[in-house]
Amino acid sequence: MLATHDRATLLTYAALLLATAAAWVSMVWTPTGAEDMAGMEMAMTPTVSEAVAFVAAWAVMMAAMMLPSAAPMIGLYAVTRQDAARPTAKVVAVALFALTYLALWAVTGLPIYFASLALMALAPVTLAYAIAGVLVVAGIFQLSPLKHVCLRQCRSPLGFLLGHWRAGWRGGVAMGWAHAVYCLGCCWALMVVLVVAGAMGLPWVLLIACVVAAEKLLPRGDWIARMTGVVLALLGVAVAIHPGLATVLRASSM
């Protein structure tokens, strides 16, 4: 049984590593990369084809950013599945858990697309104050009880699985969805900062991905979240006082 669990763990982490690496390579080297998404904002019109392309690029970005911090949860789920006599059922359940988690993050690309179009219509000064407001709100959220309720669920894979366990492939979908909801509740403000202040540029993608991973995986991740909140709020105040900083923030991502 131990050998089976070890093999399941290794295979799950290997698959997650390959998926994450593929997402980063695709994002950096193909037209759906973060740098191109930032550039796409300058020329986009609200069409179905552009929306689909944007959401697809966003899905790849979310896979690259979120899979590393979700790996402990998915790996533990693979280990605790009791399907030794039905390995196919285990593979399906684990795959559905991971795909459901990614699907919810991918769907958030649609409102992000329309938000990006709205940002294009703002005058530079208005955009600067919008960026300041987003930074301050994100900073406050990082300090909020809701943030830390969701973060605790993400930081405790065993506690999450014990509290949300469901059997069968439908259980994989339900648990993947529940984990995604907590993860979205934990990280939505950082993603808004990525879009509004960072223009979805690669340096900001790397920075936010590191912050997300640090909050969820490192010791005292709750304090990392709080420190990030203070930094974001202070940065927002600085942008409000000196609106020209907004241009620097967005230009640094290009």
pLDDT digits 0-9 by tens, 107-120: 999 999 998 888 88
Quick one: pLDDT band at residue 32, thresholds 50, 70, 90? Answer: very low
pLDDT digits (tens, 9 = 90+) for 144-202: 999 999 999 999 999 999 999 988 888 999 999 999 999 999 999 999 999 999 888 88
- Asked if 139 and 233 count as a contact pair (C-beta separation under 8 A), the reply is yes
Calculate the average pLDDT of the chain.
87
Domain that holds residue 202: 2-251
State the pTM of this model.
0.87
CA dihedral sign, ordered 43, 49, 53, 59: positive
Exposure class string for 162-200: b at 16+ Cβ within 10 A, else e: eeeeeeebebbbbbbbbbbebbbbbbebbbbbbbbbbbb
pLDDT of residue 67: 93
CA dihedral sign, ordered 231, 234, 238, 244: positive
| Residue 41 neighbours by CB distance under 10 Å | 17
pLDDT of residue 73: 93
pLDDT of residue 41: 46
Residue of 86 and 40 predicted with greater confidence: 86
Looking at the structure of the chain, the number of domains it has is 1
